[in-house]
């Protein structure tokens, strides 16, 4: 079966993505204004914004700070502290169309430590590298491998045995996946994937680094594979310090 999304399906996904961006901004506004922000209140804000716009998040979302953010699927709990990474991952589904969207940002309240800023800039460079590779016919594992090489060159090793993921620290997951009426669809973009990108695929590009002594950094955009490359469906800034 073809994975190619029709123009109508792309419009549905874009509609959900715009709502994702509204929810992301609402969380960041809250983090900036609150004296003692918490993951729980951030979750409540996401719920409220999504409900107001006809969306739901059946698989939850992530607002995790500090060392909690070193686990990619940790939803987060407790107070979100200054000068630590806060990973926000929102992936809602429209109640009307059934289509998902997906976006992650990492922010820091106040001045980030030098080590965190370096990690963030490396993940941003990795994402830019991966996005530039997106085009029909590109082997999915080639994108993953290019990002892994960049991380190693910058001194970010991946090591340890993980529970949910193959590794405990470093770049522990695949670089991306398809999005549609399921949050994770083909193509899977990772080390062991043999498929190629096709025109009409809607995919995520989401490199991340995770270390237990500092936390995690993840940046995720959603892209449409076009006949001559890609179109970025995400329209939200990437800024670490808020």
Which residues constitute the domain of residue 128? Answer: 7-232
174 lies in a domain? yes
CA 130, CA 112: separation in Å to the nearest integer?
Answer: 25
Classify residue 30: in a domain, yes or no. yes
The answer to the question of residue 1 being in a domain is: no
Assign residue 194 the CATH number of its domain.
3.90.230.10
Q: Give dist(CA 12, CA 44) in Å, integer.
A: 25
Residue 237, in any domain of the structure? no
pTM for the whole thing?
A: 0.97
Contact yes or no for 210/66 (Cβ under 8 A): no
Partners of 85 in beta bridges:
none
Q: How far is CA 142 from CA 171, 189, 190, in A?
A: 15, 9, 8
Please answer whether residues 43 and 61 qualify as being in contact, where contact means their C-beta atoms are separated by less than 8 angstroms: yes
Total number of domains constituting the chain: 1
Measured between alpha carbons, how far is 226 from 134 in angstroms, rounded to an integer? 9
Q: Where are the alpha helices (DSSP H) in the chain?
A: 7-33, 39-52, 114-133, 140-153
Token pair in block for residue 69: 């953010």
pLDDT for res 1: 58
Query: Is the bond preceding residue 187 a cis peptide, omega within 30 degrees?
Result: yes
For residue 6, the number of C-alpha atoms closer than 13 Å in the C-beta half-sphere is 4
Write down the pLDDT at residue 208: 98
Strands (E), 140-228: 159-161, 167-169, 176-178, 185-189, 202-205, 208-211, 215-218, 221-226
Residue matched to tokens 């892994």? 148
Buried-state track 31-65, b at ≥16 Cβ within 10 A, e below 16: beeeeebbbebbbebbbebbeebebebeeebbbbb
Low-confidence spans in the chain with pLDDT less than 70 = 1
């Amino acid at each position: 079966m073809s994975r190619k999304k029709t123009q109508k399906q792309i419009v549905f996904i874009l509609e959900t993505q715009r709502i994702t961006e509204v929810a992301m901004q609402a969380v960041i506004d809250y983090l900036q204004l609150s004296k003692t922000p918490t993951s729980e209140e951030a979750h409540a804000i996401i719920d409220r914004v999504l409900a107001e716009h006809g969306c739901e998040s059946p698989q939850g979302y992530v607002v995790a700070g500090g060392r909690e953010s070193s686990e990619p699927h940790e939803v987060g709990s407790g107070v979100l502290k200054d000068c630590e990474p806060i990973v926000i991952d929102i992936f809602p589904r429209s109640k009307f169309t059934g289509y998902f969207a997906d976006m992650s940002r990492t922010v820091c309240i106040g001045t980030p430590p030098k080590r965190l800023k370096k990690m963030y800039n490396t993940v941003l460079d990795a994402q830019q590298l991966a996005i530039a590779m997106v085009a029909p016919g590109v082997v999915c594992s080639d994108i993953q491998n290019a990002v892994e090489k960049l991380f190693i060159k910058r001194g970010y090793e991946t090591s340890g045995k993980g529970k949910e993921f193959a590794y405990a620290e470093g770049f522990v997951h695949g670089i991306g996946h398809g999005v549609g009426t399921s949050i994770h669809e083909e193509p899977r973009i990772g080390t062991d994937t043999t498929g190629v990108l096709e025109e009409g695929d809607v995919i995520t590009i989401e490199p991340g680094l995770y270390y237990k002594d500092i936390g995690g950094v993840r940046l995720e955009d959603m892209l449409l594979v076009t006949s001559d490359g890609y179109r970025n469906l995400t329209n939200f800034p990437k800024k670490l310090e808020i």
